């Protein structure tokens, strides 16, 4: 009778330990899956912030088509290329940025860049100009025909010029607030 009790007690202890380990693994799995989901969401937000919507969707479509081995297209850049004809490229650089960065606090500088580039983004969006990239003190955008459009290159140049003129007017409103010198 005592042997039977010891055997049953041993089985109960082993079963309890097994289920404890199983629960522990399931909790870790739940945590890892949640972490992967958050990382995936962050990566998608970064991708959508870096590229125009259509380019981001093309990149995501390529990633979805990859197999388990991560087979990549022969020339992935060609999958994202498209001929838009003649385009106008805008570059905007904040002049005397090094001096400005020495004059204002880092938090104010970041706030200034956020404000200026957000204004540029809105202006480009309202004029149909596509933001290409923002790196530090430099903003790059392109005015180009819509897909299938027969508009002349002069129209895109005019759109780009309107964006620049609007941006200059906006910067005049902002410049004294941050520098005190009135120069951005």
Structural domain ending residue among the three candidates 44, 79, 114: 79
Count of alpha carbons within 13 angstroms of residue 45, beta-carbon side:
6
Using only C-alpha atoms, the chain has a radius of gyration, in whole angstroms, of: 28
Same domain, 14 and 89: no
Average pLDDT over residues 154-158: 85
pLDDT greater at residue 52 or residue 31? 31
Rounded CA separation 77/30 (Å): 37
pLDDT band at 20 (very low <50, low <70, confident <90, very high): very high
Q: What's the predicted TM-score (pTM) here?
A: 0.56
- The CATH code of the domain that includes 96 is 3.30.70.1230
d(CA 16, CA 8): 12
Q: Are residues 67 and 147 in the same domain?
A: no
- Please report which confidence band the pLDDT of residue 18 belongs to, taking 50, 70 and 90 as the band edges: very high
Helix, strand or coil for residue 55?
Answer: helix
pLDDT in the model for residue 79 = 58
Residue 8 lies in a domain: yes
Q: Does 89 share its domain with 166?
A: yes
Rounded to whole angstroms, the Cα distance separating 52 from 132 reads 7
Residue 93 structural domain: 84-179
Given a contact cutoff of 8 angstroms between Cβ atoms, the answer to whether 144 and 131 are in contact is no
Mean pLDDT for the chain? Answer: 81
Asked if 145 and 110 sit in the same domain, the reply is yes
- Does residue 108 register a pLDDT over 70? yes
> What's the rounded mean pLDDT across residues 85-100?
85
Kindly report, residue by residue over 32-84, the tens digit of the pLDDT: 988 888 888 888 888 877 777 777 887 777 777 765 555 555 455 555 677 77
Pair 143, 97 in one domain = yes
- pLDDT at res. 182: 43
pLDDT at 101 over 50: yes
The whole-number average pLDDT for the span 175-180 is: 62
What pLDDT was estimated at residue 26? 94
Give the confidence band of 144 by pLDDT, cuts at 50, 70, 90: confident
Dihedral over Cα of 104, 106, 130, 88: its sign: positive
Q: Quick one: 150 and 107 in the same domain?
A: yes
Instruction: Say if residue 68 is in the same domain as residue 95.
Output: no
Picking from 40, 63, 79, the residue at the C-terminal end of a domain is: 79
């Amino acid at each position: 009778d005592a042997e039977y009790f010891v055997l049953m007690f041993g089985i109960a202890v082993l079963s309890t330990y097994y289920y404890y380990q199983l629960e522990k693994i399931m909790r870790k799995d739940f945590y890892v899956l949640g972490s992967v989901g958050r990382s995936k969401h962050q990566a998608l937000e970064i991708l959508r912030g870096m590229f125009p919507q259509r380019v981001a969707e093309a990149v995501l479509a390529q990633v979805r088509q990859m197999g388990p081995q991560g087979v990549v297209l022969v020339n992935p850049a060609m999958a994202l290329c498209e001929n838009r004809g003649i385009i106008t490229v805008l570059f905007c650089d904040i002049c005397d940025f090094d001096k400005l960065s020495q004059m204002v606090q880092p938090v104010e500088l970041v706030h200034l860049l956020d404000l200026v580039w957000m204004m540029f983004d809105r202006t480009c969006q309202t004029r149909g100009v596509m933001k290409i990239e923002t790196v530090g003190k430099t903003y790059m955008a392109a005015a180009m025909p819509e897909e299938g459009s027969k508009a002349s290159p002069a129209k895109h140049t005019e759109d780009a010029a309107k964006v620049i003129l609007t941006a200059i007017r906006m910067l005049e409103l902002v410049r004294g607030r941050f520098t005190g010198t009135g120069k951005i």
